[in-house]
Homo-oligomer: A and B are copies of this chain.
């Protein structure tokens, strides 16, 4: 499939990917490498953003930028490759906070972002600048330039996302998730424009954690509405394989929230919003239980060929869904409310 799709015969039109952390970034990279130049827009979760040691930190944005730039650390799952940690060691000498680790190279991104925001630029402007500097030929958009913060309601009380995720290593039991500021936050203007672009080929919800990484985007009423109204097919890729999360705390959180760790749960979560769901072949026996078009394929992305193959299969599936999606479009428009 690679050979066929990487020719010059690619269809025109742009693609919008909704993306959170590392799993989402892998598929975004697959799309980036297989779509024609300049055709990919990626809207990234900023609900995990926070201020630490005086720096404005945007973990999911940086994961996306580093991944597309080809400088993400493949083993760690965050930060840059060939990283060093001398800053962190010196912070420790001075008795500073070390629970959130910042690499020496990575730090430059936080310093420049903080200075840029302080100088009155938007996060969107800074990310566009950084992407350009890293030679990235895709539009990476923070989902919003406003404050929208993911708060984890746990059995120990409310925790800002990074305190829960990094400092507490997802140990507290999750009771609920809140997205502070979501109803006031405006989606990035460029994101709304991408969704209303007549040439939009597909919206791809990447296999990020639906509750932690995608819900912050969907918590903005204006964005949810724009997605439900887009003419392009909306395809989600499941983050669940064979009843387990590929990575991260998705399964733990689902269990704690009382949600079965199944692809049916993912389908139900995105019901009314998506035209098709991509699941793993190991879950193919569940396909009959889903009331939505399904592509069953290998969704675990272990290497670059995996990412590109999945990206191309997702785009082909989106094309099929578009051909038969008058029904689903109607369904989406009728039911495009929070699932």
A103–B87 alpha-carbon span in the complex (Å): 8
Q: Are B130 and A112 touching (Cβ within 8 A)?
A: no
| A112 cross-chain contacts in B, Cβ below 8 A | 53, 91, 94, 96
Give min CB distance, A24 to chain B, whole Å.
23
Give A60-101 interface residues, CB cut-off 8 Å to B: 80, 83-84, 86-91, 93-96
A170 within 8 A of partner (CB): no
Chain A positions within 8 Å of B, measured between CB atoms, are: 53-54, 80, 83-84, 86-91, 93-96, 103-109, 111-112, 114-115, 118, 129-130, 133-134
Top-7 shortest CB links A-B? A90-B108, A86-B104, A104-B104, A90-B105, A91-B108, A86-B105, A94-B112
Give min CB distance, A57 to chain B, whole Å.
13
| A94 cross-chain contacts in B, Cβ below 8 A | 108-109, 112, 129-130, 133
A104–B53 alpha-carbon span in the complex (Å): 15
| A91 cross-chain contacts in B, Cβ below 8 A | 108, 111-112
A175–B92 alpha-carbon span in the complex (Å): 44
Q: Are A54 and B118 touching (Cβ within 8 A)?
A: yes
A114–B53 alpha-carbon span in the complex (Å): 9
| A103 cross-chain contacts in B, Cβ below 8 A | 86
Q: Taking A89-B105, A94-B130 as given, write out 10 further A-B residue pairs in contact, using a Cβ cutoff of 8 Å, ordered by the A residue number.
A: A53-B115, A54-B111, A54-B118, A86-B104, A90-B106, A90-B108, A90-B109, A91-B108, A94-B109, A107-B107
| A105 cross-chain contacts in B, Cβ below 8 A | 86-87, 89-90
| A87 cross-chain contacts in B, Cβ below 8 A | 87, 104-105, 107-108, 111
Give min CB distance, A88 to chain B, whole Å.
8
A129–B118 alpha-carbon span in the complex (Å): 28
| A115 cross-chain contacts in B, Cβ below 8 A | 53-54, 96
Give min CB distance, A118 to chain B, whole Å.
6
A240–B106 alpha-carbon span in the complex (Å): 44
A115–B30 alpha-carbon span in the complex (Å): 40
Q: Are B84 and A114 touching (Cβ within 8 A)?
A: no
Interface CB pairs A-B, < 8 A, 16: A53-B111, A53-B112, A86-B86, A86-B105, A87-B104, A87-B108, A89-B105, A90-B105, A90-B106, A90-B108, A91-B108, A91-B112, A93-B108, A94-B129, A94-B130, A95-B129
Which of B88, B96, B133 is in CB contact (< 8 Å) with A95?
Answer: B133
A87–B55 alpha-carbon span in the complex (Å): 14
Q: Are A96 and B111 touching (Cβ within 8 A)?
A: yes
| A130 cross-chain contacts in B, Cβ below 8 A | 94
Give min CB distance, A225 to chain B, whole Å.
35
A293–B104 alpha-carbon span in the complex (Å): 52
Q: Are A93 and B133 touching (Cβ within 8 A)?
A: yes
| A95 cross-chain contacts in B, Cβ below 8 A | 129, 133
A169–B84 alpha-carbon span in the complex (Å): 30
Give min CB distance, A55 to chain B, whole Å.
8
Give min CB distance, A25 to chain B, whole Å.
19
Known A53-B115, A90-B109, A109-B94; judge A104-B133 contact (CB<8 A): no
A324–B111 alpha-carbon span in the complex (Å): 56
| A88 cross-chain contacts in B, Cβ below 8 A | 108
